[in-house]
Copies of this chain bind each other. A is one copy, B any other.
Amino acid sequence: MSHWETYLNENQDRFVTELIDFVRIPSISSLPEHASDVQQAGEWVAARLETAGLENIEIMPTAGHPVVYADWLHAPGKPTVLIYGHFDVQPVDPLHLWARDPFDPVVENGRITARGASDDKGNMFVPIVAMEALLRSRGSLPVNIKCLFEGQEEIGSPHLPPFIVANKDKFSCDYIVSSDGSQWSESQPCIWLSTKGLSALQIDVKGARGDLHSGVYGGAVANPLHALAYILSSMRSADGKILVEGFFADVVPLSDDDRTKIAEIPYDEAQFMADLQVSALYGEPGYTTYERSWARPTLEINGVWGGFQGDGVKTVLPNEAHAKITCRLVANQGPDKIADLIRAHVEKVVPPGVTVTVTQLASKADPYLMASDHPANQAAHEVLEELYGCSPFYVRTGGSVPIYRLLLDNLGVYPLTFAFGLEDENLHAPNEFYRLSSFRRGQHGYCMLLERLGQG
C-alpha cells in the first residue's frame, strides 16, 4: 500500500464530514439573494486548499461570482496540470419533492443527499483531497498544479471569458483536468471526447397588416402559418436528414475507429424506446442512435406558435407565425456560420406573400472534440482501467459545455474530463445525491492520474 492510499483510508471520515460542511452552503449562483453564499463557498474552497497544502491562494473577483485560484509549483521539469471545478449549485425548486432539506445533508446507505453533492461539490472536492494525500504522504506533488474553481458554472459562466482572456498567463499549463462530469456506471468507466456546440435562431413570418377573416381572404392571401410549415419542413428530409445547404461542410466525419469505439458501447434499443414511450426511433439515415445524438449535428425546432390556440374554432387567417430552433454542432462547425446558412436557406425557400426574419439568439457555444489518443486520454485510460478492471468506453455528449472551448481557445490545452459522478444522481433535480464509493474511488483515481501525468 502506497503512502497516499494509507492517508486516504485514515482520513476518510474527516473528508466526508468536510464534504457535508461544504454542501451545507447554499451557493445557488442563479439567485441574487444567494450571492454571499456563493462567495462563502469560494472562501471555504480557498481555506480548504490551504489546508491541503496548496499555495498562493486567491479569491479572484470577476464581473460576477468569484474564481478561486491556488497553485503548487515545486516540480521543476514536470508538467503543469490545471484542475477545474465549480462550487456553485443549481436552485432547489420544487422544494416539496425533496425528502429532506437540500442543504441539511445526511449520509445514509453510503450516499450523501444534498444539492450540489454530485454536481459539482463532491466531484470537485475529490482532487483537493487527493492533492492533500499526495502532499502529506510524500511531501510533494508529482506535477505542478494550478487550480481554477469557479462559482458561476450553473448560470453558463457568463463572466468567465473576459476573466480567462485577462489571466491567460496565470492559468498557462500543460494539461487541464475537469472534475465536472461522470462515469458510465459503478462498474464501467468512460472517457468523454466531445461536447456539442450550439446555434440558436428565431424565425418570424409576417403576412398581411393584421389577422384576416378566413372566409373572406382564405385561399387568396398568403397564410404565415403555411409559409412557416413549408420553411420548417424544408430544413429536414422526411427521413431526418438536414437539408440546409452547407450545413455539413465543416463537420469532422466519424472515422472507422470512432464508429467502432461507439459501437462497442452497450445499447438496448428496445429499452431506450420503452423508456421514452415511443414506437419508433427517428434520425439521420446511416447513423446509430449514439452517433446521432453524440457525434452528428442536429437541428431541432424548440417551439412554434401563431394564430389561435384556444378551445374550439376561430376562423382566422393569422398574420404572424414564429418558430425557435436550436442546432447542436460538432467540430468544426461554428454557431455564427450555421446561423448564416440557415438564414440563407430560409430566404431561398420562403414562399411569396410573406416576409420573414431570421434572428440569431444570444445563446451559442462552439463544439469541443478531443482526440481519443490524446496523451491526457491515454493517461486517463490507464488509470481508469486499473481502477475499474476494465477498459473505459469512449463516449461523447450531445450537450454543450462552453468552458471546454473557452479553455482550449485561450490556453491552447485540451481539457480532460475526469470525474466520478453517475448520471442517476439527480443532477439539477430534487434529491441529488453522491455515492461515497465514488468519492473514495475518485480520490484514488486523482492520485494515480497525477502520478501518471508526472511520468510524462
Binding site for B on A (CB under 8 A): 196, 198, 200, 207-209, 212-223, 225-226, 228-230, 232-234, 236, 238-240, 275-284, 289, 292-293, 296-298, 300-309, 312-318, 321-324, 326, 328, 351-355, 361-363, 397-400
Contact = CB atoms under 8 A, between A and B. Distances in A.
Contacts of A233: 226, 229-230, 232-234
28 contacts: A198-B315, A209-B276, A213-B398, A214-B302, A214-B398, A215-B397, A216-B399, A217-B293, A218-B326, A218-B328, A219-B283, A219-B284, A221-B283, A225-B304, A226-B301, A230-B233, A279-B353, A281-B352, A282-B351, A302-B314, A302-B318, A304-B305, A304-B306, A305-B309, A309-B322, A312-B361, A313-B361, A314-B324
Contact of A278 (B225, B304, B353): B353
Contacts of A361: 312-313
Contacts of A214: 298, 300, 302, 326, 328, 398
Contacts of A209: 275-277
A351 B351 CA distance: 23
Nearest to A232: B229
B314 A353 contact: no
A278 to B, nearest CB: 5
Given A220-B293, A223-B301, A300-B214, A312 B362 contact: yes
Contacts of A300: 214, 218-219, 223, 226, 317
Given A212-B276, A302-B316, A309-B324, 18 more contacts: A196-B215, A215-B293, A216-B398, A218-B293, A219-B284, A221-B282, A225-B301, A226-B301, A229-B232, A230-B233, A233-B234, A238-B351, A281-B352, A302-B314, A303-B307, A304-B305, A304-B306, A305-B305
B282 A222 contact: yes
Contacts of A239: 351
B400 A292 contact: no
B309 A220 contact: no
A322 B212 CA distance: 21
A324 to B, nearest CB: 6
A280 B223 contact: no
Contact of A282 (B301, B352, B397): B352
A146 B209 CA distance: 45
Nearest to A201: B313
Nearest to A277: B209
A326 B315 contact: yes
Nearest to A293: B220
Q: Which of A213, A219, A220, A322 has the most CB of B within 10 A?
A: A219
Contacts of A296: 219
A453 B147 CA distance: 99
Q: Which of A296, A297, A301 has the most CB of B within 10 A?
A: A301
